[in-house]
Amino acid sequence: MKVTIFGVGYVGLVQAAVLAEVGHEVVCVDVDEGKIEGLRQGVVPIFEPGLESLVRSNHAEGRLIFTTDLQEGAEHGEVIFIAVGTPPDEDGSADLHYVLEVAHSIGQHIQHPCLVVNKSTVPVGTAEQVRQAVFAELKNRGHEDINFDVVSNPEFLKEGSAVADCMRPDRIIIGASNPKAAETMRELYAPFNRNHEKVFIMDLCSAELSKYAANCMLATKISFMNEMAAIAEAVGADIEAVRMGIGSDPRIGYHFIYAGAGYGGSCFPKDIKAIIYTAGSVGVDAGILKAVEHRNVTQKQVIFDKITRHFDGGIQGLTFALWGLSFKPNTDDMRDASSRVLMEALWQAGARVNAYDPQAMEEAQRIYGNRDDLTLCGTKEAALKGADALVIMTDWRAFKAPDFDVIKQSLAQPVIFDGRNLYDPQRIEARGIRYYSIGRRAV
């Protein structure tokens, strides 16, 4: 099928590459000229395992075209995806102006019937707004006769395993108001739906809400465990033991019940805010979700509070080695990352940071490159040199079994603040390293 994808970010680019890989002819449109030019040269602007080779091979074979030409994009697709950002507005609601901008572009340029697919995470009712925006432009052009429909197809990929998630999705949710549109989507996704049925067809509102419900449930699990961790710490229990104890109950399960330094990324924080806003606008008090958000804001301060207490408030002039900048492993994405809250608090208190991340160094350079209280280091060992303490903020695999002798010898004070509970407290303390983690009493 001929497919166009507006927005070549984490979602749009991965979806485009995966659809091209199974044979669809995909045109990717973005307003970012540098990004599009880079992609034409084979430069993939984000780190996502498996993505680069997929993009390069499909581009070389002519099934994946990159353009900034909105008209070219709109004229190409029988199916046109909107996969642009939906950042939070000042009041927490989802800012839809990128989505609606694309809808207007589609209406201004389509020449033939098409199906418009909302892939961005958008509040209930957005499909109707997109329909109106497209139709208004068709009317301006005197082309009300061009048939189009709008469906909702929320994306559930996880950064860090986005290619695999799109190749083998757990579910494909399609919100449609007529069977023909649903059938077109079934045909598009047929190559991903062979092993067993993964397509769920539902009404538009339910599809739009499903995405928020999924992210809110996951964020709730994290905040719940972080609250339990605070209780565990206060009563002298170990949240890791508690986690394993409750995870063994199949009704609870082991997934997503790790305590840590808070959730980040481009989705959970903004989606929680957006649904709280939506609930308020329809007279529902989203008390649980407000608490989830509040716990997360508090949680992002926990490591800084432990540092301040350990150093008795005197952290001005100290240097902290920081391992992990991305909001989670296997991505270079630092949007809303807990590492940023920590670094900014350390800088505010007059400390310096030596940071290392396996993938997010360029992103850190882009965001904080001009600061003289940040040194971006080439290895995790280099970050330790001259540092007073080590802080871990992302659970990258490369941090899980470090050489503790090197850590001890390199640090001015042998102390680790671990925001991801990577190590066994007894073992670390037995090596003469002071160890602080989340929800576990200090040994």
Least CB distance from residue 23 to ligand NAD, whole Å? Answer: 23
Q: Is 29 in the site for ligand NAD (CB under 6 A)?
A: yes
Distance CA 246, CA 353 (A): 37
Distance CA 107, CA 71 (A): 10
Binding to ligand NAD, residues 246-305 (CB under 6 A): 266-267
Give the type of residue at 313. Answer: G
- In the complex with ligand NAD, the residue whose CB is nearer, 227 or 336, is 336
Distance CA 373, CA 380 (A): 18
Residue in the shown chain whose Cβ atom is closest to ligand NAD: 9
Q: What is the token pair recorded at 210?
A: 């499903």
Measuring CA to CA, how many Å separate 294 from each of 263, 268, 300, 410? Answer: 12, 13, 10, 37
Distance CA 7, CA 3 (A): 13
Using the contact rule CB under 6 A, the part of the chain among 83-91, 223-231, 337-345, 369-377 near ligand NAD is: 83-91
Q: Which among 114, 166, 267, 377 is annotated as catalytic?
A: 267
Using the contact rule CB under 6 A, the part of the chain among 29-37, 184-192, 229-237, 303-311 near ligand NAD is: 29-37
Q: Is 83 in the site for ligand NAD (CB under 6 A)?
A: yes
Using the contact rule CB under 6 A, the part of the chain among 3-11, 200-208, 230-238, 302-310 near ligand NAD is: 3-11
Measuring CA to CA, how many Å separate 231 from each of 50, 72, 190? Answer: 40, 57, 48
Least CB distance from residue 121 to ligand NAD, whole Å? Answer: 4
Which of 416, 400, 391, 421 is CA-nearest to residue 229? 421
The string of DSSP codes covering 227-296 is: HHHHHHHHHT-BHHHHHHHHHTSTTT-STT----S---SSSHHHHHHHHHHHHHHTT---HHHHHHHHHH
Distance CA 92, CA 415 (A): 38
Using the contact rule CB under 6 A, the part of the chain among 26-34, 201-209, 288-296, 423-431 near ligand NAD is: 26-34
Q: Which of 4, 6, 66, 368 binds ligand NAD (CB under 6 A)?
A: 6
Annotated active-site residue 267? The verdict is: yes
CB 180 within 8 A of CB 149: yes
- In the complex with ligand NAD, the residue whose CB is nearer, 6 or 436, is 6
Q: What is the token pair recorded at 21?
A: 């890989």
Q: Which of 22, 25, 32, 129 binds ligand NAD (CB under 6 A)?
A: 32
- In the complex with ligand NAD, the residue whose CB is nearer, 67 or 299, is 67
- Tell me the H-state helices in 22-171: 33-40, 51-60, 70-76, 97-109, 126-140, 162-167
- In the complex with ligand NAD, the residue whose CB is nearer, 46 or 391, is 46
Using the contact rule CB under 6 A, the part of the chain among 31-39, 197-205, 352-360, 421-429 near ligand NAD is: 31-39
Q: Which of 21, 30, 233, 357 binds ligand NAD (CB under 6 A)?
A: 30
Question: 120-159 mask for ligand NAD (x: CB under 6 A)?
Answer: xx---------------------------------x-x-x
Least CB distance from residue 252 to ligand NAD, whole Å? Answer: 25
Least CB distance from residue 155 to ligand NAD, whole Å? Answer: 4
Burial class (CB in 10 A: 0-12, 13-18, 19+), 389: buried
Measuring CA to CA, how many Å separate 338 from each of 217, 278, 298, 317? Answer: 20, 26, 11, 22
- In the complex with ligand NAD, the residue whose CB is nearer, 153 or 421, is 153
Binding to ligand NAD, residues 91-120 (CB under 6 A): 98, 101-102, 120
Residue 27, classed as helix, strand or coil, is: strand
Least CB distance from residue 421 to ligand NAD, whole Å? Answer: 24
Q: Rounded to 5 degrees, what angle do the CA atoms 369, 343, 157 make?
A: 85
Which residues, 6 or more positions from 133, have their beta carbon under 8 angstroms from its beta carbon?
A: 100, 103, 104, 107
The string of DSSP codes covering 203-232 is: -HHHHHHHHHHHHHHHHHHHHHHHHHHHHH
Q: Is 329 in the site for ligand NAD (CB under 6 A)?
A: no
Least CB distance from residue 78 to ligand NAD, whole Å? Answer: 19
Using the contact rule CB under 6 A, the part of the chain among 78-86, 177-185, 233-241, 432-440 near ligand NAD is: 78-86
Q: Just list the catalytic residues.
A: 267
Summarize as ranges the residues that interact with ligand NAD (CB under 6 A).
6-12, 29-32, 35, 83-86, 98, 101-102, 120-121, 155, 157, 159, 266-267
